[in-house]
């Protein structure tokens, strides 16, 4: 096994990640203003920004879903129990004892099992929950005449709000975990350059050197 810098975050994925980050921050900021939690931006402009950012994020996600499916990248998010407990144990216990992180990144599996299952939950539960309820809230006038509409409307708002807070909690944990292990800078860098330190078998290394030289950095 050798460690080499391999491009595991292609250009689209990085674009998707950072524009998603910016949009989510805009949505959280304007959304909490719309919720009445703060008044740092007036309600009207907050509404406009929230709608525009939400629609942009949905468009981005349409592309992202297409990208995951056509490139096969979705396999990174297939959940596995293998090593899940060890990683969890590391974060709640071993880290304090100075142990090394138990997960070794492979170029076909860039997330540790805990990351993979967290991102998967985010993608198939929280994000759909917030878009669906958001679109329902946006289209309130189209269904406000159904029976029990006020109660359903309140339910939709509440799910939307809870999903938003859950995403905010994820952002907190996500950013904090960048400080665990390597330096914050080192953690962020792969999502900018695309290259991360990956364990390669001799066969993988040979394959990348020979067939995908752009994906592997020359030895230092």
Partner 1 sequence: MQAIRVLALCALPLWAAAPLFAQDGSAPAQPGAASTADHSKFEILQKEFASGPEVTRACLSCHTEADDQVMHSIHFTWEFEHPETGQMLGKRNVINAFCGAVPGNEPRCTSCHAGYGWDDMRQSSAQAQATPDCLVCHDTSGQYTKTATGAGHPPLAPVPDGSKTITGAKSWPVDLGKAARSAGQPTRDNCGACHFYGGGGDNVKHGDLSSALFDPPLSVDVHMSPEGEDFTCSTCHVSDQHDWAGSRYRMQATDPHGTGKPGAARSIATCESCHGPTPHPAGLKGLKLDDHTDTLACQTCHIPEFARGGVATKTVWDWSTAGRLDEEGRAIAMSDYLESDGDHRHTYLSTKGDFEWGEDVAPVYAWFNGVVEYTTGDRKIDPGQTVEINPIHGTPDAPDSRIWPFKRMEGRQAYDSGLNELVYTHVWGPDTDTALWTNFDWAKAIEAGMDAAGEEYSGEYGFVDTYMYWPITHMVAPAENALDCESCHARDGRMAGLTGVNMPGTTPFNTAGLVGLAMLLAALGGVMIHAAIRILRPAKGGSHD
200-219: contacts with partner 1 (CB under 8 A): none
For β-strands 2-7 and 195-200, DSSP reports them as: antiparallel
Indicate whether 168 belongs to the interface with partner 1 (CB under 8 A). Answer: yes
Indicate whether 72 belongs to the interface with partner 1 (CB under 8 A). Answer: no
Residue of 86, 122, 129, 153 interacting with partner 1 (CB under 8 A): 153
> Nearer to partner 1 by C-beta: 17 or 182?
182
Min dist CB 123 to partner 1, Å, is: 19
Min dist CB 158 to partner 1, Å, is: 4
Stretch that binds partner 1, among 62-70, 121-129, 172-180, 199-207 (CB under 8 A): 172-180
CA–CA dist 76, 37 (Å, integer): 37
In b/e form, how buried is each residue of 153-190, taking b as 16+ CB within 10 angstroms? beebbebbbebbebbeebeeeeeeeeeeeeeeeebeeb
> Nearer to partner 1 by C-beta: 37 or 85?
37
Locate all alpha helices (DSSP H) within the chain, ordered by sequence: 11-34, 43-71, 84-92, 113-121, 127-138, 140-143, 149-177, 184-188, 190-193, 202-211
CA 4 vs CA 37, 113, 198, 199, 206: distances in Å = 47, 21, 6, 7, 12
Indicate whether 130 belongs to the interface with partner 1 (CB under 8 A). Answer: no
Q: How many residues bind partner 1 (CB under 8 A)?
A: 48
Residue of 165, 189, 207, 217 interacting with partner 1 (CB under 8 A): 165
CA–CA dist 112, 76 (Å, integer): 9
Indicate whether 150 belongs to the interface with partner 1 (CB under 8 A). Answer: yes
| Residues 5/203, Cβ–Cβ less than 8 Å | no
Min dist CB 114 to partner 1, Å, is: 14
Beta bridge partners of 216: 6
Indicate whether 144 belongs to the interface with partner 1 (CB under 8 A). Answer: yes
Site string for partner 1, 16-35 (x = CB under 8 A): ----------------xxxx
Measuring CA to CA, which residue among 21, 184, 19, 1 is closest to residue 107?
1
Q: Strand, coil or helix: what is 153?
A: helix
Interacting residue ranges for partner 1, rule: CB under 8 A: 32-37, 39, 42-44, 47-48, 51-52, 91, 95-101, 103, 137, 140-141, 144, 150, 153-154, 157-159, 161-162, 164-166, 168-170, 172-173, 176, 179-182
């Amino acid at each position: 096994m050798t460690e080499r810098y391999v491009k595991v975050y292609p250009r689209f994925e990085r674009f998707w990640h950072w524009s998603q980050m910016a949009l989510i921050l805009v949505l959280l900021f304007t959304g909490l203003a719309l919720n009445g939690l703060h008044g740092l931006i007036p309600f009207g402009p907050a509404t406009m920004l929230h709608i525009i950012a939400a629609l942009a994020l949905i468009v981005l996600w349409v592309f992202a879903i297409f990208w995951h499916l056509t490139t096969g990248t979705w396999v990174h998010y297939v959940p596995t129990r293998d090593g899940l407990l060890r990683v969890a144990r590391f974060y709640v216990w071993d880290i304090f004892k100075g142990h090394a992180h138990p997960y070794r990144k492979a170029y076909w599996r860039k997330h540790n099992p805990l990351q993979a299952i967290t991102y998967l939950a985010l993608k198939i539960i929280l994000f759909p929950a917030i878009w669906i309820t958001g679109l329902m809230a946006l289209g309130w006038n189209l269904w406000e005449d159904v029976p029990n509409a006020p109660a359903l409307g309140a339910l939709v708002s509440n799910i939307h709000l809870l999903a938003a807070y859950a995403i905010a909690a994820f952002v907190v944990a996500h950013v904090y975990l960048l400080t665990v292990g390597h330096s914050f800078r080192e953690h962020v860098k792969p999502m900018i350059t695309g290259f991360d330190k990956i364990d390669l078998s001799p066969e993988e290394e040979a394959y990348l050197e020979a067939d995908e030289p752009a994906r592997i950095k020359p030895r230092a």
